[in-house]
Structure 1
Amino acid sequence: MADVRSAGRLTISLFGAFRVRGPDGSDLTPTRQKSRAVLAIIALSPELGRSRTALQDKLWSLMGPEHSAANLRQALTDIRRSLGDYQDCLLAEPRYISLDPERVAVAVDPPAGEGAAAAAMLLDDLTIRDPEFEDWLREQRAKVHDRLDAGSARSTGPAERIDRPATGASFVGWQPAPRLGHGKAPEVERPWVRVLPPELTRGDNDAFLSRVVGDAVAGGLAELNSIEVRDTPLETPGIEIRVEAQAMAKVTAVHLTYTCPHTTRRLWSGTGLVPNDGFIVDADELKRLINEGISVGSIQLRNLYSADDRRTAFAMGYDAIQRMCTLDYDDLQEARRLLDTAFAMEGRGIFLAWRAYAQTYDYVEHNPANRQVLREEAKAYARQAIELEPHNSMVHALTSYVYSLVLDEYHVAHELAERSLALSRHNALAMAFLGRVKSHLGDHQRGYSYAAAARKLAGPTPYQPTLDLICGLTALESGQYDEALRIGELMRALWPRYLSPQRYLVPLYMRAGEKEKARDMLEHLRKVDPSFSLAALRDAYYPNAAIRASGLLNYSEEIL
């Protein structure tokens, strides 16, 4: 490893005794174990940074949010005290703690020896009695062990952070993001689905409906991730889909079943009662059953692999979607890495579309310093995703949201959402994103109608927070404040880490005359985001043009 002291940097050593040394070799290591652990977690993060929430969860998981936040602040004070003249190397933002990569180098070379023995030396002098930290440390040591077993002595360097380039640092378990391109040819297996003919269905109409539903579920699974639709089974992991339809007097019963072809074990089944009036394929009940089948099918396919098996682009794509939807910054970073690797393996446009979609969380939640670079990167991902898969409904849906929220190109977003629905009538995300862009374009009532319908038809899905947020925002913009307040309160209960809907609760409570609730909400937000205020909410940083025009943001905190 090159001598970093000559560059005037601090050096953090991770193997054996954890140490922080100044450019002159002086020991600047904090004395408290958890202060050291904070630095260790940050040093082992892909971009030399972690969200405050993630640090609290790793080190004070058994405490409430207020106490864990107070303990983190105390640890940061201890770190600054230990660093002395170099304390400005620690960058503390309202939601994010990091180290200045221009002034800090992380020594990641493990000691000589077998993989298991060398991995065990990682942070071997840290004893933190917190189950979340213990799990995290085991995972980090496992990464070292796997890397050594694979014959690589060190990672090739970090991906470059948009707003804080990580120059000259190296990280355990992190690989650079691939450049945009057409990816490599598939080198590993894909899971597969097969639609079986119905056994009990009677009549041509019922047989036709069975086939339509089976193809819609199989096609939705293939669009969502790297899954192959086949007419013949393989020995590799896969599931078989059978749809039975039986018309009765007023409704048609549609029964969907998943089985494992290798064991004939039934994995899941669901039934929908679809009204016979109108065009049955457009019935809401049928769309919800199809969406539920797609969501459950993804879960069942992932369950065919072990929890730690990421040999396939499918497994990486699935895990990335789940991580993105936790709304945690560190999970979002890991999701990006997984999507980059999945794309490098198979070159699917859907991975780039999810990658572009991931930018929307940063754009709204994490206040990046260089928003223009983020916009350009999101547009590049979106454009190439469409180029690679021009007939994929999910690609069009995800890129529609990017063009609407990040790029402010509403007419393009509207066209993409409509194309998505033309390709798949049941696509709930496309329906929600079409509603959002209609509201942006001033058609607030229709915007809310589309968003509410999407929320109803989606079925169980990991991206439920996005559907709820869009429904709440379009309700607000269409003047349905009580509904917006109801959805906002529901989201706070279900997803307390999702700050966007909570920010709008403050003026909604104020409008409703609930000053005590507004005051409590404001105090809660300031604990997790000290920079928050109603004045900040009116700032151009927030994509609030329509809400601002409604007058809802004209309230002043002084009345509280």
Structure 2
Amino acid sequence: MTGDRYRLHLVGLFRFERPTGEFIVLKSRKARAILAFLALARDHTRPRTWIKDHLWSDRGPEQADASLRQCVHEVRKALGADRDVLLASGSNLALAPDRVWVDAGDGDYLAALLAENDELPELLADLDIRDAEYEHWIRDRRTWLETRFEECNPGNRAAPVSQMPKTLQPCLIRSNGVADGVKSKIYNSVLQTLICKSIDDSGAVKLIDADVMNQLQSWESVAAFRLQTYGSHQGETVSIGASFTRESDGAVFSDAFRNLGPAETTNLQSFDVIDLINEAVHRAFDEIANLETRLPDAEISSALCVRALKSLTDYSVTSIDKADRLIARAHEIDPRGAYLSWRGYLRTFMLGEMQNKNMSTSPEEMERFIVQALEIDNANSHVLAVAAFLRSIWAVSIGEALELAERSNKLNPSNPLGISYLGMVNSHIGNLEKGYLLGKRAYALTTNGMTRSSIGYVAMRTAACAGRFSEALRVGEELRRAMPGFVAPMRMMGLLYSELGQHERAAEIEAELQKPDPDYSIKGVRAYYRNAPQMRNTALANL
């Protein structure tokens, strides 16, 4: 029902109507553009920075701020008593989603419009604004509207599915970044490079530059999404952001930003920058995983891999075996070094957590997977990070592990796995404080990560190696609550509780672990840390 909502017409000529049908006149073209921006955004919300970058990209920050405030005032004044239809917060503008109907988002309306017209109307046909970023946006959205009309045409609806191959590769479109100065352009370049590399290193996506869109086949648009980065330099601060837009329907499924203070603007690897990159990457992984629901007839290797890693809610035989079979199928569809490295990674849990019980694997099989992964792709930060982990923990080749971890971190300093395992290797060679700080940083970056438990265990381990036993126990308890079946943290926790004099707690953990593994004992763990070559320089070796 649209009778009680404001009506915003963007297809053809711009028109804004009250629920009564009365036209709302906005004299400023940029005020109308702001409403269009919001109407076509996910949840009808956009950051103020993004809007200023698309309407006043050639103006200074103060002038852009003043012009935006003036446009917002004009719209809210025109709305009168219903001024809260346009919501204005400190950093965002939004349209109240339950109070505004937008023609471009109504498939039935578009289908009826298509049936009534021989010539398709153009999006915002009367709204031309001389700003390079707006012009780029409107060209992109007009192409999107043409796709929407094709989907609404009954004769065309089945065509994309019939042309779609059985196996499909998601497409990541790199748009030109929006920036208002040299420093912002540098941040845009860093964000674009590391977000794309992180997504591609984890599995299989097809990277396409927006300027060469003829690379995108028509049937590929159903599995395509677009990355847009932006930056704005205001005084001593820099605002940076990254958004993803689904190519098939124009929905913005991620829009994250950070404000960098003066101390951070000279550090391209500050925590906020890397945190923003990882937030964007995780949103992209969610989108890739959702493709399996939207496209049930297609097999998508990267979606299979993401589903496999997300399915590890515990480390039971069943969940590990299921994840391994999914990743094996992903590799059959699209042979990638990343998939082989993940299979090697899973075998660390098969061997470590299950003590090889009920599972057919061996250290040799784990090593074979990682050797093959390195042969296929030795410039993949994930492959290098997992290889460093295996060399350090299982092969006890610390020198090679350090080289692999450093290469991983150099190729992609935003990869939490690379940061984590570089920290672990540094702890093993005696750089205890550096190892602890790297482990802590990686764990902080993986709030929603698919490998949070493994990275959390490394954070616990590096804290314990540095003698920070209470902090190690805090991380261990977090992991135990989140994943009760994860045994590795508990093995160390029993020893640490004993060392801190909490003998009842230590005895409780020892008894719990002896149920599945009668040979477990705190005494045995203490002996392991004293005798393991990679632990000789750590605080754990002295317990």
- TM-score bucket (shorter structure): 0.5 to 0.7
Match of 1:321 among 309, 332, 335: 309
Secondary structure of the corresponding residue to residue 240 of structure 2 = strand
Contact 2:166 2:299 in 1 (8 A): no
Give the match for residue 279 of structure 2.
Answer: 292
| Separation in structure 2 between the aligned mates of residue 453 and residue 541 of structure 1, nearest angstrom | 24
Deviating above 3 A after TM superposition, structure 1's stretches of 4 or more consecutive aligned residues are 275-280, 307-310, 369-373, 527-531, 538-555
Deviations 1:135-186 (A, max 9, x none): xxxxxxxxxxxxxxxxxxxxxxxxxxxxxxxxxxxxxxxxxxxxxxxxxxx9
Match of 1:248 among 234, 247, 253: 234
| Separation in structure 1 between the aligned mates of residue 387 and residue 309 of structure 2, nearest angstrom | 15
Shift in alpha-carbon separation, 1:323–1:258, aligned structure 2, 3 A:
same
| Separation in structure 2 between the aligned mates of residue 429 and residue 476 of structure 1, nearest angstrom | 19
Contact 1:444 1:474 in 2 (8 A): yes
Deviation at 1:429, TM superposition (A): 0.8
Secondary structure of the corresponding residue to residue 256 of structure 2 = strand
Give the match for residue 263 of structure 1.
Answer: 249
| Separation in structure 2 between the aligned mates of residue 392 and residue 436 of structure 1, nearest angstrom | 19
| Separation in structure 2 between the aligned mates of residue 553 and residue 280 of structure 1, nearest angstrom | 36
Secondary structure of the corresponding residue to residue 356 of structure 2 = coil
Deviation at 1:264, TM superposition (A): 0.9
Deviations 1:74-129 (A, max 9, x none): xxxxxxxxxxxxxxxxxxxxxxxxxxxxxxxxxxxxxxxxxxxxxxxxxxxxxxxx
Identity of aligned residues (%): 23
Match of 1:383 among 371, 394, 399: 371
Shift in alpha-carbon separation, 1:262–1:363, aligned structure 2, 3 A:
same
Give TM-score scaled by structure 1 length. 0.61
| Separation in structure 2 between the aligned mates of residue 516 and residue 547 of structure 1, nearest angstrom | 27
Shift in alpha-carbon separation, 1:353–1:258, aligned structure 2, 3 A:
same
Contact 2:177 2:229 in 1 (8 A): yes
Deviation at 1:519, TM superposition (A): 2.4
Q: Summarize the alignment of residues 360-379 of structure 1 with structure 2, pairs less than 5 Å apart.
A: 360-368=348-356, 374-379=362-367
Give the match for residue 523 of structure 1.
Answer: 511
| Separation in structure 2 between the aligned mates of residue 291 and residue 467 of structure 1, nearest angstrom | 14
| Separation in structure 1 between the aligned mates of residue 355 and residue 438 of structure 2, nearest angstrom | 29
Shift in alpha-carbon separation, 1:450–1:359, aligned structure 2, 3 A:
same
Shift in alpha-carbon separation, 1:276–1:228, aligned structure 2, 3 A:
farther
Give TM-score scaled by structure 2 length. 0.63
Contact 1:355 1:381 in 2 (8 A): yes
| Separation in structure 2 between the aligned mates of residue 554 and residue 543 of structure 1, nearest angstrom | 10
2:194 pairs with 1:206: no
**Which sections of structure 2, spanning at least 5 residues, go unmatched?**
1-164
Contact 2:467 2:540 in 1 (8 A): no
Contact 2:240 2:257 in 1 (8 A): yes
Deviation at 1:460, TM superposition (A): 2.1
Give the match for residue 461 of structure 2.
Answer: 473
2:204 pairs with 1:226: yes
One-letter amino acid of the counterpart of residue 376, structure 1: E
2:169 pairs with 1:190: yes
One-letter amino acid of the counterpart of residue 274, structure 1: L
Match of 2:289 among 290, 297, 302: 302
| Separation in structure 1 between the aligned mates of residue 261 and residue 182 of structure 2, nearest angstrom | 18
Secondary structure of the corresponding residue to residue 524 of structure 1 = helix
Deviation at 1:549, TM superposition (A): 7.6
| Separation in structure 1 between the aligned mates of residue 303 and residue 233 of structure 2, nearest angstrom | 38
Shift in alpha-carbon separation, 1:544–1:469, aligned structure 2, 3 A:
farther
**Which sections of structure 1, spanning at least 5 residues, go unmatched?**
1-185, 556-560
| Separation in structure 1 between the aligned mates of residue 499 and residue 410 of structure 2, nearest angstrom | 39
| Separation in structure 2 between the aligned mates of residue 409 and residue 371 of structure 1, nearest angstrom | 26
Deviation at 1:539, TM superposition (A): 6.1
Contact 1:393 1:423 in 2 (8 A): yes
Give the match for residue 3 of structure 1.
Answer: none
One-letter amino acid of the counterpart of residue 400, structure 2: V
| Separation in structure 2 between the aligned mates of residue 227 and residue 255 of structure 1, nearest angstrom | 22
Worse overlay, 384-393 or 275-284:
275-284
One-letter amino acid of the counterpart of residue 455, structure 1: Y
Worse overlay, 271-280 or 534-543:
534-543
Shift in alpha-carbon separation, 1:440–1:554, aligned structure 2, 3 A:
closer
Give the match for residue 397 of structure 1.
Answer: 385
Q: CA RMSD in A?
A: 2.8
Deviation at 1:191, TM superposition (A): 0.6
Deviation at 1:251, TM superposition (A): 2.2
Q: How many residues align?
A: 369
One-letter amino acid of the counterpart of residue 302, structure 1: A
Deviations 1:250-280 (A, max 9, x none): 3211121111111111212111122344633
Contact 1:435 1:447 in 2 (8 A): yes
| Separation in structure 2 between the aligned mates of residue 371 and residue 237 of structure 1, nearest angstrom | 36
Contact 2:317 2:358 in 1 (8 A): no
Shift in alpha-carbon separation, 1:329–1:539, aligned structure 2, 3 A:
farther
Shift in alpha-carbon separation, 1:552–1:351, aligned structure 2, 3 A:
closer
Larger Rg computed on CA atoms = 2
Contact 1:325 1:463 in 2 (8 A): no
| Separation in structure 1 between the aligned mates of residue 531 and residue 285 of structure 2, nearest angstrom | 33
Match of 1:534 among 495, 509, 522: 522
Give the match for residue 32 of structure 1.
Answer: none
| Separation in structure 2 between the aligned mates of residue 237 and residue 421 of structure 1, nearest angstrom | 30
Contact 1:187 1:345 in 2 (8 A): no
2:322 pairs with 1:334: yes
Contact 1:339 1:355 in 2 (8 A): yes
Give the match for residue 236 of structure 1.
Answer: 222
One-letter amino acid of the counterpart of residue 257, structure 1: S
Worse overlay, 529-538 or 364-373:
364-373
Shift in alpha-carbon separation, 1:390–1:325, aligned structure 2, 3 A:
farther
One-letter amino acid of the counterpart of residue 382, structure 1: I
Q: Summarize the alignment of residues 449-464 of structure 1 with structure 2, pairs less than 5 Å apart.
A: 449-464=437-452
| Separation in structure 2 between the aligned mates of residue 300 and residue 511 of structure 1, nearest angstrom | 45
Give the match for residue 410 of structure 2.
Answer: 422
Q: Which has the higher helix share?
A: 2
Deviations 1:440-497 (A, max 9, x none): 2222222112211222234520111111111111111111111112111221122211
Shift in alpha-carbon separation, 1:457–1:207, aligned structure 2, 3 A:
same
Deviation at 1:544, TM superposition (A): 5.2
| Separation in structure 2 between the aligned mates of residue 235 and residue 357 of structure 1, nearest angstrom | 33
Shift in alpha-carbon separation, 1:302–1:536, aligned structure 2, 3 A:
same
Shift in alpha-carbon separation, 1:551–1:443, aligned structure 2, 3 A:
closer
| Separation in structure 2 between the aligned mates of residue 488 and residue 362 of structure 1, nearest angstrom | 20
| Separation in structure 2 between the aligned mates of residue 420 and residue 549 of structure 1, nearest angstrom | 24
Deviations 1:275-301 (A, max 9, x none): 344633222210111011111111112
Contact 1:364 1:542 in 2 (8 A): no
Contact 1:310 1:316 in 2 (8 A): no
Deviation at 1:399, TM superposition (A): 1.3
| Separation in structure 1 between the aligned mates of residue 328 and residue 529 of structure 2, nearest angstrom | 28
